Amino acid sequence: MPAARLEVERLSAGYGPTQIVSEMSFEVPAGGRLAILGRNGVGKTTLLATLMGLSTRHHGKILADGQDISVMRTSARALCGMGYVPQTRDIFGSLTVEENLSTGFKTRERQGLSEIYEMFPRLAERRRHLGLQLSGGEQQMLSMARTLLGKPSILLLDEPLEGLAPVICDQLMETISRLATSGDMTIVLVEQQIERALNFADRVMVVERGRSVWEGASDELKSDRSLVNRLLGVGIH
């Protein structure tokens, strides 16, 4: 499944009647890379959860390659090419690495495992270990690998580097960048490590209180330290 265009039109969402995301509109072209930045608690995770059908959409549209997926169940969105790696990782601790991966096959043939093990050699080494025996970095690799087995055309990543050692962050970002360079995937990345996110993305959207307050080229934000500080309250090196 080739990379797909993602369009979000005036999306408002939350949990039950509580609205967290308000009137959000943006577009990511097929094969594009968008980083979503913002302080903690501004609605970034809720936005990704809504795109995947895991929260309450109040109004607005979500389109994948022009197809309206706004009212689809999460499983149907996955079959349409949406892939989601949650901040919580959500692996099965009582299953082995290989058993965890088998839950990601969907309609794909099992030879996809060899590709995954080539992409994540550490998982190949640990294939018979239980999920609960893995380090945090290995669990994140497993969560991402399981999603990638479904061959998503749009990949949503929610803070994949959270709590990981710098060397593991380097490895994961290298893998994510290779996926993006292949052109087979449109990637939306939510990340607190601002410099890494800016180096990865083509474009950036900054969220504040559930709304988009700035959108533009990542190079523009990266070159303006005062703008970064004003929007995010932090500097970059």
| pLDDT tens string 72-112 | 999 999 999 999 999 888 899 999 999 999 887 765 556 67
Does 186 score more than 60 pLDDT? yes
Average pLDDT, integer, range 218-233 = 88
What is the assigned CATH class of domain 6-232? Answer: alpha beta
Confidence of residue 237 (pLDDT cuts 50, 70, 90): very low
What is the structure's pLDDT at 229?
87
State the pTM of this model: 0.92
Residue 202's CB is within 10 A of a number of other CB atoms, namely 16
Give the pLDDT confidence score for residue 108 in this predicted structure: 52
pLDDT score of 235 more than 60: no
For the chain, which residues make up each domain, given as ranges?
Answer: 6-232
- Tell me what pLDDT residue 72 has: 97
> What is the DSSP secondary-structure string of 72-97?
S-HHHHHHTTEEEE-TT----TTSBH
C-alpha distances in Å from residue 73, one per residue of 82, 106, 193:
11, 15, 31
Please report which confidence band the pLDDT of residue 232 belongs to, taking 50, 70 and 90 as the band edges.
Answer: confident
3-state secondary structure of 47: helix
Classify the C-alpha dihedral 85-91-97-100 as positive or negative.
Answer: negative
How much is the pLDDT for 158? 97
Q: How far from 184 is each of 1, 2, 155, CA to CA, in Å?
A: 8, 5, 10
pLDDT in tens, 130-182: 999 999 999 999 999 999 998 899 999 999 999 899 999 999 999 999 988 88
pLDDT, residue 74, reads 96
Span 47-81, pLDDT tens digits:
999 999 999 999 999 999 999 999 999 999 999 99
